[in-house]
Amino acid sequence: MRPILMKGHERPLTFLKYNREGDLLFSCAKDHDPTVWFADNGERLGTYRGHNGAVWSCDVSRDSTRLITGSADQTAKLWNVQTGTPFFTFNFDSPARSVDFAVGDKLAVITTDPFVGLPSAIHMKRIARDPDDQTGESILVLKGPTGRINRAVWGPLNKTVVSAGEDSVIRIWDSETGKLLEESDKEDGHKRAITSLSKSADSSHFLTGSLDKSAKLWDTRTLTLIKTYVTERPVNAVTMSPLLDHVVLGGGQDASAVTTTDHRAGKFEAKFYHKILQEEIGGVKGHFGPINALAFNPDGKSFSSGGEDGYVRLHHFDPDYFSIKI
């Protein structure tokens, strides 16, 4: 499997997202400029210029016409995917971290970091059909848990919002009332900060990755723990195959703790686990530094990883990948 190396970012990658058709890949990094690529050959289509800080995450609408990005410059922006121009900016009093469009693209959830006396918060915004009608007010603001919320996504039918972050607790909120419905159990839950959260294609379950060197699979409605995948390093990024029972974990320790020996050891690999059996079935090496972002193409035939090294690596699976016998 020969990866395609995509060099378009000057700084470490933070997030990767495919559009629904799987023909475009959007990448976010600490260099202020989200980028869009062709997902089949890794050719760069363009960049979205306008942020003045690291861009932490992005999401693209179902029809691939709009992009939303959350940045450390205390804004979230809505972009025209085709022209690359921002048509609306949501302003906050602290850095915007996680962004996620609801099913139907009429709502978005944006999380903001704790900042100078302000707690972390989850903001729900209406997304107007016509860009000229877009307003900045929130329908609902949930003043959050302690520490940073690293990821918040919509649950099934947009009825709930699932959030997770530094305090290692997963929470499910009612998206209409803002009431807290479920919290992950101390026994079953992660022991350290949750870095990443990825939903299954049908939103029925989701995967979390944590600095406690594990990833966990949860039922979205009941928050029941289904599976745990144990690895020997902190997990920074997780994703699930939409086609096979495979989950992929990426990580490595914090950049500040990386030594030269780690590179030689090639420890920075995307590890594949069997979703049901919880066993490791393989790994893909290549990054010089921790993996911060992972995404599966919606067709299940390729995946991409983004690293601390500033590269996006695009992997198209060989035919024999689809016939792996466990």
C-alpha 324/C-alpha 62 separation (Å) is 32
Position 253 scores a pLDDT of 67
Q: Can you give the C-alpha Rg of the chain in angstroms?
A: 18
**How far is the first Cα of the chain from the last one, in angstroms, to the nearest whole number?**
20
Q: Tell me, what's the pLDDT at 144?
A: 72
Q: What is the pLDDT of residue 1?
A: 80
Question: Mind giving me the DSSP string for 264-296?
Answer: HHT---EEEEETTT--EEEEE---SS-EEEEEE
> Pick from 70, 2, 3, 24: which is nearest to 309 by CA?
3
Side chain identity, residue 101:
F
| 47 neighbors 30 (Cβ within 8 angstroms) | no
Give the predicted TM-score (pTM) of the model: 0.94
Q: Which residues of the chain have pLDDT under 50?
A: 264-265
Instruction: Tokens for 70, please give them.
Output: 């959350």
Among residues 181, 183, 217, 213, the alpha carbon closest in space to that of 195 is found at: 213
Q: What is the number of alpha carbons within 13 Å of residue 80 lying toward its C-beta?
A: 9
For residue 78, the model assigns a pLDDT of 98
Structure tokens at 135: 């307003």
pLDDT of residue 264: 47
